[in-house]
Amino acid sequence: MKEIAADLYLLRGFPPAAINVYLAGDVLIDAATKLASRRILRPLEGRPLSLLALTHVHPDHQGAAKAVCEARGVPLACHRAGVDEMEGRAPIGSGDPGHPLNRLIAAAWQGPPHEVGRTLSEGDELAGFRVIHAPGHAPSEVIFFRESDRVAICGDVVNNMNLLSGRKGFCEPPVPFTLDPAENRRSIRKLLELEPSLVCAGHGPPLRDLSGLERLVASFERQ
């Protein structure tokens, strides 16, 4: 694990920073894919863990949730908009469920349902981070924001790398994976308005330079 801010760690993965998992204090944030349980559990050995919280319920963020929660005996948390999906009463949604990539991702990465022990709402707090609802990419999407040092863990509100080319930098999540791109742009604006000192996305390395995010938001006005 690599410490990227005070008491905030990025778990290592391969390729590096492709599908990110964070540890904030004793709260694990996101669970990558169903293939990632060993990658997640090994660096957590000997560390206290109280909760697994999801930025949103998509296969590359909830995949190992059941395995991790059961192995460590901790509850699962997600926004209330994702509870039915996480518990298996509704299909996990995306921008285009019939898209070949989404069918492949669901088959290869999606984890089994698991009970949600804590539902998250706007303004809740965990590990010193405030919950900010930021839907668009997914109805359950949230930003975890720490006021003390202005660190934002934002899931897929934005990506910090192009998922096709691997090029680093702020960009919108791909349309096939995003339920409501227009709503997600509003959430990207919300992220920028927080004036974060560090943006930790679900894909791509943590970034401190916000100029790319500013340019991305400015581009929305020209379209």
Dihedral (CA of 159, 204, 35, 5) sign: negative
pLDDT of 223: 62
What does each C-alpha distance from 145 to 178, 192, 193, 201 come to in angstroms?
Answer: 22, 12, 12, 12
Q: What is the mean pLDDT of residues 65-78?
A: 98
pLDDT of 221: 83
pLDDT > 80? residue 163: no
CATH number, domain of 182, equals 3.60.15.10
pLDDT of 192: 97
Q: What is the mean pLDDT of residues 31-37?
A: 97
pLDDT of 103: 87
pLDDT > 70? residue 87: yes
Contact (CB, 8 A) for 43 and 12 = yes
Predicted confidence (pLDDT) per residue in 196-222, tens digit: 999 999 999 999 999 999 999 999 987
pLDDT > 90? residue 167: no
Q: Give the tokens for residue 104.
A: 């492949």
Domain residues for the domain of 188 are 2-221
Q: In whole angstroms, what is the distance from residue 79 CA to residue 152 CA?
A: 17
SS3 158: coil
Strands 142-146 and 151-155: antiparallel
| Percent of the chain whose pLDDT exceeds 90 | 85
Name the more confident of 83 and 105.
83
Q: What is the mean pLDDT of residues 73-82?
A: 98
Range in 12-21, 69-78, 110-119, 186-195 with the lowest mean pLDDT:
12-21
Name the more confident of 157 and 106.
157
Q: What is the mean pLDDT of residues 11-15?
A: 91
The rounded mean pLDDT for the chain is 95
Q: What is the mean pLDDT of residues 98-117?
A: 90
